Amino acid sequence: LKKLKSNEWHVYLTARDPAAGQAAVKSLETEGLHPKFHQLDIVNKESVESLKQYILQTYGGLEILVNNAGIAFKMASTVSFAEQAATTIKTNTIATVDVCLEFLPLLRTDGRLVNLSSFVSLFALQKVSDQIYQTIQSEMNMDGLLKIVNNFVKMAIDGTYTEHGWPSENSYGVSKMFLSKATQILGKQYENDKRNLIITSVDPGFVDTDMTSHKGHLTIQQGAETPVFAALLPATEKTKFNG
């Protein structure tokens, strides 16, 4: 927010829980920042539509969309891998892609879309079978990717995912691997769009947050540097970073 200069931008913070979101806004206000708040649960289509219509009616569009919503089960979680995989993929991949597809038409000229991925996605990619690796690295459309995504969830539920070449107990890494690929597909899909959009996925690093159980060595401010860099990329950098 400091780099975006929220007095010059209308910056919105979203959260599933309005109370938590408003508390975050108040905390930022003590630092002299003035973000606005709107409720958003990305796995709830009505919630996504509500925000979309609010943006359309209030502003007619937007300049930057940063997708930071995500979920990761703790290592000590007793939730079955099947449930972890279904929940994690639904949030980190499918719902995030849905938000992209809903809001991309609202982006104005020189708009920016930034998806937060993770270095853990590379660990997952390195551990898949050669066949899956080649498939993920190949060109495909979004329908093709979502078919792979849904098949992974089915295999996780029936317990055959490792037999088919997927890494063991790493649904978070797989979900972010899928998100990175989805971002690449969107970048290719919109590369000739007249609005000159730049669509990127970034790794914020190992940040000290609730998700990492505060084990990360980077501060939240340091973790925000790469997403903000991507959000403010000049139009001349499109060929280097798009997708």
DSSP string, 3-68: TTTTTTS--EEEESSHHHHHHHHHHHHTTT---EEEE--TT-HHHHHHHHHHHHHHHSSEEEEEE-
d(CA 23, CA 35): 12
**pLDDT tens figures, 222-237:** 878 899 899 998 877 7
For Cα atoms 22, 26, 27, give the angle at the middle one, nearest 5 degrees: 115
pLDDT of residue 24: 94
d(CA 46, CA 235): 33
DSSP one-letter code for 90: I
Residue 120: band (very low, low, confident or very high) from pLDDT cuts 50, 70, 90: very high
For residue 172, is pLDDT > 70?
A: yes
Residue 205: band (very low, low, confident or very high) from pLDDT cuts 50, 70, 90: confident
Known active-site residue 190: no
The H or E element that residue 213 is part of is none
Q: What percent of the chain has pLDDT over 70?
A: 93
DSSP one-letter code for 167: P
d(CA 241, CA 243): 6
For residue 213, is pLDDT > 70?
A: no
pTM score, two decimals? 0.92
Catalytic residue among 12, 161, 172, 190: 172
For residue 48, is pLDDT > 60?
A: yes
For residue 113, is pLDDT > 60?
A: yes
pLDDT of residue 4: 61
Q: What is the mean pLDDT of residues 154-178?
A: 96
pLDDT of residue 6: 52
Residue 75: band (very low, low, confident or very high) from pLDDT cuts 50, 70, 90: confident
* pLDDT mean across residues, the chain: 91
Residue 32: band (very low, low, confident or very high) from pLDDT cuts 50, 70, 90: confident
For residue 113, list its beta bridge partners.
Answer: 65, 199
Q: What is the mean pLDDT of residues 105-129?
A: 96
Which of 83-87, 110-114, 190-194, 209-213 is the least confident region?
209-213
pLDDT of residue 117: 96
